[in-house]
Amino acid sequence: MAVLNKIRQRSLFLIIVIALALFSFVLADLFTKGNAFSQQSQNIVGTINGKDINREEFLQKVEEAQRNAGASATNTQIINRVWEQEVRQAVLESQFEKLGITIEKDQMRDLLKTALASSPEFLNEAGLFDEAKLNEYIANLKETSPIGFQSWVNYEKSLATNGLQQNYYNMVKAGLTGTLAEGKVEYNLEGDKVDLKYVQVAYSSIADSLVEVSKSDISSYISNNKKQYEVEASRDIRYVKFNEVASVEDEDAIKEELVGLLNDREEYNNLTKESETVKGFLSTTEDAEFVNSHSDIKFDERFVFKSSLSSTFADSIFKLNKGETYGPYKDNGYYKISKVVAVKQIPDSAKVRHILIPFLGSRSAAQDVTQTEDEAKATADSLLAVIKNDRSKFPELVKEFSSDQGSVEKEGRYDWHPYNTMVPEFNDFEFEGNVGDLGVVKTVFGFHIIEIEGQKEKSKAIQVATLARKIEPSEATIDKVFRDASSFEIAVADGDFEEVAKESSLTVRPVNGVKVLDENIPGVGNQRNIVRWAFNEETKVGAVKRFNVSNGYVVAQLVEKHKEGLMSVEDASASVLPIIRKEKKAEMIKDRISVSTLEDLAAAENTSVRTAAAVNMKNPTLSGAGREPIVVGAAFGLNEGETSDLIVGEKGIYMIQVTKITPAVELDNYQAAANRVEQQKMSVVTSKLYNALKEAAEIEDNRVETQIQ
């Protein structure tokens, strides 16, 4: 009972404890949900006009684009390319949806027919597009290759998007017209002309040093022209690069090692327990094996003409006799010694025709190729037998059997082409055989039935064996570069970056205005890791870090962080200063002028009265002064003989007097000019419409937050 009484006495306390427990439970749940929301936001790469771009789908497209691009583009370039495609699609789709335009089945079929009209696998015997073949191809792709089928689906989507875009652009163009009134204005802009006299008081007549422009002037100008000076967040960095390059000692050692391979040498054989003579490059007859064993560049068995050799050394190498050597010489990052191992007379060009029979696994074999290598060889041999009996059947057999679509329309023919144009086996047959020879040759593409139709101008060609050693830094040099970079990194952590670099005779390279999605650092190339470091919140201004880069190291320092918003006075001053200075000069010139005639103004300013004839609004240029649209516009507002007030122009202050007005000849009809206006309007649709829609769109880019970049 005593316990119960105590509980009753402390009931308020218990209620508070229970309430706090419940409240903490609710808070925990909210935090959990908050994490869920955060996780969800991590799955959204961006939002365009309310449409989310899913991370997983985006990365799939990036992966496919990377496969298609191969090594020709970096990962960041691919990501940016896919992002722009997604933005474009989303921006335009929002317009398609508003207008209710879609690609229906019939139009999709027409788009495919147009796109694939020249693809041989979808043509019938008459050379016309066959929809049944297309359907069969798609069905087969769906069954045999999920990745290939998905690529096809994406291809269809791309065609549909392009079709919708074309429809949309055509609709916009259809709404554009040039009225007769607009045509008349266009005609008069060029046809109406005035002759005038003018005096120019150039801004350059006042020295820049006499015009004071304050920071507040620049700041006010930026505030009044905000749109022109809006900037993304950016970083300024500077860096010193430490290059891993071969020293003079390294090059001498490489050259010495190469020269050591020329002569025979004695080596102890651990198996026979005797010394043996190992042949050097000069005496060996196994040149290919020797080069492949000792050179950084493998032996090339092809014969070459003089024109194929490096121009710097062609004369020296081409005049060698068989067995003679030239070198060592430095060429394209290598030390080399070249030896002529064979000389022969070879045609410099040939003409052939062929039939290509591919097999499973051969390069560029189409999806419908089912023959094994043995079966393809048998087919080629049987075709060769037919052609040997009747060469007139060659063109007919090309159309029926050859998979080389580049030559089918030419009866399998490759017209005159130089030596070493084709793959090695094909090249050897056509240039080492004789005109009229027929044979079957296997290459990476399959089996070729080849007939040599012609050869031209046999001339000297040589087979060259070249020992090559890449000129690269030794381990000692690499270690020294690492030590130098590390020492510099430590020194600048507590010292002045510029001063420490100067003391070590190192070049400091500044890089300003680095954006969050940039990847290229001038002088270093693709360095996303440096950009990420510069934008990391934990990286403070003045921070220094060493980075591994291609062939060396970079020690970088973060110099400045620029927030998103308006450009700073310092950054804008280079572009704003001349504008404000010109405005102030204009006021200074106007303040000192009190005359009202051209002659008095010319006398007061120690200049002359100049003339300009046949001036028009279409091309508002004054002879002797250049393009001055405001001045020319003012001239067309004056009557003949009338003198203007002072006019602020591009290059100075002007006073003008119109001496003659010549109106354009009146036309009975301005339709031709109206048509030109319409064409001008339509010509800018393709280039400007999307950019205008993009500028008006609501785009949220989360690539950095979602760690896509």
Is 515 found in the same domain as 579?
Answer: no
How high is the mean pLDDT of the chain? Answer: 89
Three-state SS annotation for 668-709: CCCHHHHHHHHHHHHHCHHHHHHHHHHHHCCEEECCCCCCCC
Does residue 555 lie in a domain region? yes
Three-state SS annotation for 292-343: HHHCCCCCCCCEECHHHCCCCCHHHHHCCCCCCEEEEEEECCEEEEEEEEEE
| Tokens, residue 143 | 């069954």
pLDDT of residue 22: 45
Domain containing residue 477? 234-245+473-563
Does residue 622 lie in a domain region? yes
9-18, 407-416, 428-437, 684-693: range with lowest mean pLDDT: 9-18
Query: Quick check: pTM over 0.85?
Result: no
pLDDT of residue 61: 85
Look at residue 14 and tell me whether its pLDDT is greater than 70.
no
Domain boundary among the residues 533, 563, 593 is at 563
Give tens-digit pLDDT for 259-314.
999 999 888 777 777 888 889 999 999 999 999 999 999 999 889 999 889 999 99
Give tens-digit pLDDT for 161-182.
888 888 898 888 888 999 999 9
Look at residue 373 and tell me whether its pLDDT is greater than 50.
yes
Confidence of residue 706 (pLDDT cuts 50, 70, 90): low
Give tens-digit pLDDT for 219-259.
999 999 998 998 889 999 999 999 999 999 999 999 999 99
Look at residue 19 and tell me whether its pLDDT is greater than 60.
no
| Percent of the chain with pLDDT strictly greater than 90 | 60
The number of distinct structural domains making up the chain is 5
Q: Could you tell me which residue, 422 or 13, shows the higher pLDDT?
A: 422
Is 426 found in the same domain as 355?
Answer: yes
For the chain, the straight-line distance linking the first and the last C-alpha, in angstroms and rounded, comes to 69
Look at residue 328 and tell me whether its pLDDT is greater than 80.
yes
Give tens-digit pLDDT for 50-75.
888 888 888 888 888 888 887 777 88
Domain boundary among the residues 539, 563, 587 is at 563
Q: How many helices (H) and strands (E) does the chain have?
A: 24, 25
CATH number at residue 171: 1.10.4030
Confidence of residue 707 (pLDDT cuts 50, 70, 90): low
Is 348 found in the same domain as 277?
Answer: yes
Is 199 found in the same domain as 151?
Answer: no
Does residue 692 lie in a domain region? no
Is 415 found in the same domain as 321?
Answer: yes
pLDDT of residue 248: 95
pLDDT of residue 338: 97
Give tens-digit pLDDT for 88-112.
888 988 898 888 888 888 888 888 8
The b/e string for 647-669 (b: 16+ C-beta within 10 A; e otherwise) is: bbbebbbbbbbbeebeeeeeeee
| Residue 500, CA atoms < 13 Å, CB-side half-sphere | 18
Does residue 71 lie in a domain region? yes
Look at residue 132 and tell me whether its pLDDT is greater than 90.
no
- Helix (H) or strand (E) holding 371, with range, is none
pLDDT of residue 161: 85
CATH number at residue 270: 3.10.50.40
CA distance 440 to 380: 7
Q: What is the mean pLDDT of residues 344-356?
A: 93
Does residue 78 lie in a domain region? yes
Is 372 found in the same domain as 402?
Answer: yes
* One-letter identity of residue 678: E
Q: What is the mean pLDDT of residues 514-520?
A: 89
Is 197 found in the same domain as 286?
Answer: no
Look at residue 5 and tell me whether its pLDDT is greater than 60.
no
C-beta of residue 605 within 8 angstroms of C-beta of residue 199: yes
pLDDT of residue 465: 96
Rg (CA), the chain: 39
CA distance 641 to 644: 10
Is 168 found in the same domain as 214?
Answer: no
pLDDT of residue 703: 82
Domain boundary among the residues 511, 534, 563 is at 563
Is 602 found in the same domain as 545?
Answer: no
Q: Could you tell me which residue, 254 or 126, shows the higher pLDDT?
A: 254
Is 484 found in the same domain as 464?
Answer: no
| Tokens, residue 105 | 């089945």
Is 615 found in the same domain as 507?
Answer: no
CA distance 129 to 147: 25
Does residue 314 lie in a domain region? yes
CA distance 258 to 331: 14
Give tens-digit pLDDT for 436-488.
999 999 999 999 999 999 999 889 999 999 999 999 999 999 999 999 999 99
Does residue 509 lie in a domain region? yes
pLDDT of residue 152: 87
Is 239 found in the same domain as 159?
Answer: no
pLDDT of residue 41: 58
CATH number at residue 606: 3.10.50
C-beta of residue 653 within 8 angstroms of C-beta of residue 586: yes
Look at residue 28 and tell me whether its pLDDT is greater than 50.
no
Does residue 183 lie in a domain region? no
